[in-house]
Chains A and B, each alone.
Chain A
């Protein structure tokens, strides 16, 4: 197991180095001289040259790359051209918001998807089953940012306590307030801001979980040991929850793991729709402002988070399913 983790970590380092080269090249291929855009039309060549020297843009590309990656390894991703703030700080301020959103959408997707899937399987071929399967089919196909727009126009505008954008206090702050001052208002604020974006981001995963839970549970319910349990005279619900569901959820866990990384990507557009102050919105804004230290820094950081999430997910399989062993 340890050997497997080490091997994965080593290959991860090389993959991330590859990503850094890719991101660096992409950003430096971009048309439009950022310094010229920053200084405006009136800028003199002397000023442009001076600023280029300041940012190191006058150096050859390989030199710029090694300087960037060398600093990045020490936690310094450069300075934002537009905001004159360290890129690392900008990202660290926003990363918790992005991860928080992804986690909430996963919580909602699991919390709704699994019970709905179980219900469909138990009430097979009833209108509950058909209804939720149809909803799941549409849920997988609908683009999540469109679901977000629909939630905004059809729900947020009619429910007074639902805001149409932005983020409340962070979950951590809200918990601290709850436990030190017994003040639940911050937690409530946190939840009402996070609810719709998390729901929109989670729709396709939720639909996937519902379908998978249903089919997997139906398969398990046909097995011999379930028949034995029933033959012993156990109640229907005891068989479903006590015996069948545990085994039926294994493939669901796998899919949740694979999809969790995709949530980080999906959150980019959702953050724009709901004005959620995360890394995705940071990237989109930085692109339109040609603030490329911010673009390359935040894309790289998202790749790092993505890679570690995927590694953790892979490792967790062996904990959940004892039949999987890494050697």
Chain B
């Protein structure tokens, strides 16, 4: 078949990847990915752009009010957003704090993807008692409100940021596993899978190379939306003292110390929460946009 000359008039190919064009036309995708890209840049170059040393304490500046960018007609770099309970610069701490939030989001989501996709794929492909066992296990995890299970896991393993990431990952596994399983169940029955099997490929190749390659879109959407959930969960755990530990800087921890002085220095709680809101907004815009572009079916659910 390959040597049949192609004489059919093909419309001139438009430049660029068609998928990319579709993505760029979606407002939510553009807005969301812009926000996330900016935050990633800030997190990456954080240590070089902080206006002050985020760890330096200044007892005279405890709970200093925000001074803004211009003070007495001069460009200001000192305490632009004010200072915290130890007189440390809030803006600098916010910039460094972005690293923990984004790291927790990415690592926790990656771990839950790894386990969720594997378990869901095996469950859907193998079926029978294996499917039953895995899905009942997922039911047990889902039987607890997510944040409650995360709190219980961190309490058991000990409060630190690594265990918090593990806990958040575990909580997120069932949702991913269920989505992947239902996709695998549908794709398993398609003809091309029969064809690949007839070619003598073993099950591992069929499942991971051929079936999963056709099931990535819904998983991508769930994972993107899950980034926001993971970041809020980290903030909640750190707020309760179960996540990041000092001297590590995390937005959730900044909120918990800000709570002590909510009367006299409300700005200490205002900005970290705003930062969390903006990140979560970015991921949920991107997730919604990706869903619109890739997956009409998910929209109804």
Taking a contact as CB atoms under 8 Å apart, the answer to whether A26 and B156 are in contact is yes
Q: Which residues from chain A contact B145 at a C-beta distance below 8 Å?
A: 261-262, 264-266, 268, 302, 306
The CA of A264 and the CA of B241, in the complex, are separated in Å by 20
Taking a contact as CB atoms under 8 Å apart, the answer to whether A141 and B258 are in contact is no
Interface flag for A10 (CB, 8 Å): no
Interface flag for A312 (CB, 8 Å): no
Give a binary string over B133-176; 1 marks a CB under 8 Å from any A CB, 0 the rest: 00011011101111110011101111000000000000000000
Q: Which residues from chain A contact B242 at a C-beta distance below 8 Å?
A: 287
Question: Which candidate, B47-55, B81-89, B269-277, is the interface stretch facing chain A?
Answer: B269-277
Give a binary string over A132-159; 1 marks a CB under 8 Å from any B CB, 0 the rest: 0000011011110111011011100100
Taking a contact as CB atoms under 8 Å apart, the answer to whether B263 and A157 are in contact is yes
Q: Say how far B254's CB is from chain A's closest CB, in angstroms.
A: 11
The CA of A157 and the CA of B156, in the complex, are separated in Å by 37
Q: Say how far A98's CB is from chain B's closest CB, in angstroms.
A: 11
Q: Which of B143, B155, B157, B241 contacts A18 (CB 8 A)?
A: B143
Interface flag for A221 (CB, 8 Å): no
Q: Which residues from chain B contact A30 at a C-beta distance below 8 Å?
A: 155-158
Q: Which of B136, B269, B280, B284 contacts A15 (CB 8 A)?
A: B136
Q: Which residues from chain B contact A15 at a C-beta distance below 8 Å?
A: 136, 139-140, 143
Q: Which of A138, A140, A146, A269 contacts B147 (CB 8 A)?
A: A269
Taking a contact as CB atoms under 8 Å apart, the answer to whether B140 and A269 are in contact is no
The CA of A289 and the CA of B142, in the complex, are separated in Å by 27
* Residues of A contacting B: mostly: helix
Taking a contact as CB atoms under 8 Å apart, the answer to whether B143 and A141 are in contact is no
Taking a contact as CB atoms under 8 Å apart, the answer to whether B280 and A149 are in contact is no
Taking a contact as CB atoms under 8 Å apart, the answer to whether B158 and A143 are in contact is no
Within 8 A of B (CB), among A9-28: 11, 14-16, 18-19, 22-23, 26-27
Taking a contact as CB atoms under 8 Å apart, the answer to whether A307 and B143 are in contact is yes
Q: Say how far A155's CB is from chain B's closest CB, in angstroms.
A: 11
The CA of A18 and the CA of B155, in the complex, are separated in Å by 19
Interface flag for B281 (CB, 8 Å): yes
Interface flag for A177 (CB, 8 Å): no
Q: Which of A146, A268, A273, A306 contacts B276 (CB 8 A)?
A: A146
Taking a contact as CB atoms under 8 Å apart, the answer to whether B281 and A138 are in contact is yes
Give a binary string over B217-230; 1 marks a CB under 8 Å from any A CB, 0 the rest: 00000000000100
Q: Which of A264, A266, A284, A303 contacts B240 (CB 8 A)?
A: A284
The CA of A130 and the CA of B242, in the complex, are separated in Å by 38
Interface flag for B121 (CB, 8 Å): no
Q: Most chain-A Cβ atoms within 10 A of its Cβ — which of B151, B157, B281? A: B151
Q: Which residues from chain B contact A23 at a C-beta distance below 8 Å?
A: 152
Taking a contact as CB atoms under 8 Å apart, the answer to whether B147 and A266 are in contact is yes
Within 8 A of A (CB), among B258-301: 258-259, 262-263, 266, 269-270, 272-273, 276-278, 280-281, 284
Q: Which residues from chain B contact A295 at a C-beta distance below 8 Å?
A: 152, 155
The CA of A321 and the CA of B3, in the complex, are separated in Å by 59
- CB closest residue in chain B, given A287: B155
Q: Which residues from chain A contact B277 at a C-beta distance below 8 Å?
A: 138, 141-143, 146
- CB closest residue in chain B, given A28: B156
Taking a contact as CB atoms under 8 Å apart, the answer to whether A269 and B269 are in contact is no
Q: A27-B156, A142-B277, A269-B240 are in contact. Are A284 and B263 (CB under 8 A)?
A: no
Within 8 A of B (CB), among A104-138: 137-138
The CA of A140 and the CA of B144, in the complex, are separated in Å by 21
The CA of A18 and the CA of B152, in the complex, are separated in Å by 15
Give a binary string over A23-50; 1 marks a CB under 8 Å from any B CB, 0 the rest: 1001101110000000000000000000
Q: Which residues from chain B contact A27 at a C-beta distance below 8 Å?
A: 152, 155-156
- CB closest residue in chain B, given A279: B148
Q: A149-B258, A269-B236, A273-B259 are in contact. Are A302 and B144 (CB under 8 A)?
A: yes
The CA of A157 and the CA of B269, in the complex, are separated in Å by 15
Q: Which residues from chain B contact A137 at a C-beta distance below 8 Å?
A: 281
Q: Most chain-B Cβ atoms within 10 A of its Cβ — which of A265, A273, A283, A288? A: A265
Q: Say how far A168's CB is from chain B's closest CB, in angstroms.
A: 21
Interface flag for B239 (CB, 8 Å): yes
The CA of A146 and the CA of B142, in the complex, are separated in Å by 25
Interface flag for A272 (CB, 8 Å): yes
Q: Say how far A151's CB is from chain B's closest CB, in angstroms.
A: 10
Q: A143-B235, A149-B262, A265-B145 are in contact. Are A22 and B140 (CB under 8 A)?
A: yes
Taking a contact as CB atoms under 8 Å apart, the answer to whether B153 and A26 are in contact is yes
Taking a contact as CB atoms under 8 Å apart, the answer to whether B148 and A268 are in contact is yes
Q: List 23 A-B contacts (CB under 8 A).
A: A14-B136, A15-B143, A19-B143, A22-B141, A26-B153, A29-B156, A30-B158, A138-B281, A143-B277, A143-B280, A146-B255, A149-B259, A153-B266, A153-B270, A265-B147, A266-B147, A268-B145, A269-B147, A272-B240, A288-B241, A295-B155, A299-B148, A303-B144
Given contacts A141-B281, A287-B155, 18 further A-B contacts (CB under 8 A): A18-B143, A22-B140, A31-B158, A138-B277, A141-B277, A142-B273, A143-B235, A146-B272, A146-B276, A146-B277, A149-B255, A150-B266, A157-B262, A262-B145, A265-B144, A269-B147, A269-B239, A306-B143
The 4 closest A-B pairs by CB, nearest first: A265-B145, A146-B273, A18-B140, A153-B266
Residues of B within 8 A of A (CB): 136-137, 139-141, 143-148, 151-153, 155-158, 228, 232, 235-236, 239-242, 255, 258-259, 262-263, 266, 269-270, 272-273, 276-278, 280-281, 284
